[in-house]
Amino acid sequence: MEIKISQSNKAVGKDQPVFIIADIGKNFIQTEEERPMSEYIANAKKLIKAAVDAGADAIKFQTHTVEDEQLNIDVTSPHFKGSDRYNWLKRNEASTPLEFWQELKKYCDELGTIFFSTPMSRASAIKLNKVGVNLWKVGSGDVLDFVMLDYIASTGKPIIISVGMSTLEEVDKAINFLKERTDKIILLHCVSKYPCPPEDLNIKTIEFFQKRYDIPIGFSDHSIGYDTAIAAANMGAVIVEKHFSFDRNLWGADHKVSMTPDEFKIMVDSIRSNKKVDIDNYGQEAKILQEGETVFRPLFHKSLMASQDIKAGTVLTKEMIYAMRPQKYAGGLPSEEYENVLNKKVNKDLNKYDPITKDILE
């Protein structure tokens, strides 16, 4: 199976060259103190240029909209102790208005590379659709955000979905949900550890997914180094994604798990030349939820919440429902219950951000 990326000469599939993504994410933020947007744009452009020069096929960022992503609850993720989630995401959103993404998209177009970003909520996906992205990336924490998945599937654009911190049952559920709406799905094996020790990557999961799902399978790698990424390509991964930064010691969430430009180029050249590598531990041919990933689940999974004030007797529409983190404290039904909530009548008044629970539905 082959999936074409519109407005480019690229396609993803087993008979295509490995599609290599430089995940800049939020690595344009490099200092604890806030800096002007002009500096963030300059940082981002330098990273984009370096990634293109290192051989990346596509450049990826992360896009946040706090309103429908993160409740104002004081939680700090284990992978980044530098800030609580709510204020970290507020800073990200404030630093990256629509014109920020438009400028980066324009710059990528000028360089002849593909720009896209991971929307961390439906509102962020709507924003990126206005920018004109040609494909989607779903982060591991949003595998079960059916509110957002429903929207991005409706656009008809290819969807790349990482499945770290997920059980096999959850992966099946997400893939089945998407397959009811689109045939442009690419699944990435991923282990949500930051950084991930190479021995924990269990890259034989790629072969497991290749046999289980009739869709292209790739690899999102949070380890330091490139041998496991090359081994994944040897195994038939159609996409390799690595975080990208100038320096792993910079301040921010993802620098410490990133490749530098020189390392990235070595990886790209090795994959392009079909270099063969052996690694110490290929793991098991299975999808395993590892112990180190479980700490992220209650903070990154989402619950269904009211997106506005809703009067008793109202039938819920898509626009009235948010899927928001952190599920551990939100109190609403899990976000994968979206279809079971849609078009149901509420039997009590709800305020914006009230949880949508089973007992209030008729």
Total domain count, the chain: 2
The answer to whether residues 245 and 256 touch, using CB atoms and an 8 Å cutoff, is no
pLDDT digits (tens, 9 = 90+) for 270-303: 999 999 999 888 999 999 999 889 999 999 999 9
Query: Is 315 in the same domain as 291?
Result: no
Residue 83 has pLDDT above 90, yes or no: no
Per the structure block, which two tokens stand in for 113? 């590379």
- Tell me how crowded residue 52 is: count the other CB atoms within 10 A of its CB: 17
Do residue 287 and residue 312 come from a single domain? no
Element (H, E) at 241: strand 239-243
Residues 6+ apart with CB under 8 A from 39: none
216 lies in the same domain as 350:
no
Under 8 Å between Cβ of 6 and 134? yes
pLDDT of residue 147: 98
Is residue 205 a contact partner of residue 219, using CB atoms and an 8 Å limit?
no
pLDDT in tens, 171-214: 999 999 999 999 999 999 999 988 898 889 999 999 999 999 99
Report the percent of the chain where pLDDT is more than 70.
100
Here the CATH number for the domain that contains residue 322 is 3.90.1210.10
Whether residues 287 and 311 fall in one domain: no
pTM: 0.96
Boundary (domain end) residue, out of 295, 319, 334 = 295
Please enumerate in sequence order all residues whose Cβ is within 8 A of that of 199, keeping only pairs 6 or more positions apart, or say none.
Answer: 280, 281
- Residues 218, 349: one domain? no
Closest to 133 (Cα-Cα) out of 50, 61, 48, 69: 61
Range of the domain at 317: 302-360
Sequence-distant (≥ 6) Cβ neighbours of residue 51 within 8 angstroms: 22, 24, 59, 113, 244, 261, 264
CATH number for the domain that contains residue 76: 3.20.20.70
pLDDT of 328 strictly over 90: yes
Indicate the residue among 241, 270, 295 that finishes a domain: 295
- 347 and 240 assigned to the same domain: no
- Angle (CA) 321 157 261, round 5°: 105
Asked if 11 and 118 sit in the same domain, the reply is yes
User: CA 107 from chain center: how many Å?
Assistant: 22
What is the pLDDT, as a whole number, of residue 194? 87
φ/ψ of 235, rounded to 5, equals -80, -5
State pLDDT tens for residues 114-153: 999 999 999 999 999 999 999 999 999 999 999 999 999 9
Task: Please indicate, yes or no, whether residues 277 and 316 belong to a single structural domain of this protein.
Answer: no
Q: What is the mean pLDDT of the chain?
A: 96
Whole-angstrom Cα distance, residue 160 to residue 193? Answer: 19
Residues 162 and 94 in one domain: yes
Peptide bond into 195 cis (omega under 30): yes
Q: What is the pLDDT of residue 35?
A: 95
Q: Same domain, yes or no, for 167 and 79?
A: yes
CB within 8 A of 359, min separation 6: which ones?
A: none
Residue at which a domain ends, from 240, 262, 295: 295
How many Cβ atoms sit within 10 Å of the Cβ of residue 117? 26
Q: What is the pLDDT of residue 1?
A: 81
Across the range 330-344, mean pLDDT stands at: 97
Model confidence band, residue 80 (pLDDT cutoffs 50, 70, 90)? confident
| 95 and 50 in a common domain | yes
Q: Are residues 181 and 152 in the same domain?
A: yes
First to last CA, the chain: 43
Place of tokens 């992978």: 79
Predicted pLDDT at 356: 98
Q: How confident is the model at residue 253 (pLDDT cuts 50, 70, 90)?
A: confident
Let me know: does 158 contact 5? Beta carbons within 8 Å.
yes
What tens digit of pLDDT does each residue of 18-44 get? 999 999 999 999 999 999 999 999 999
Residue 175 — φ and ψ, nearest 5°? -65, -40
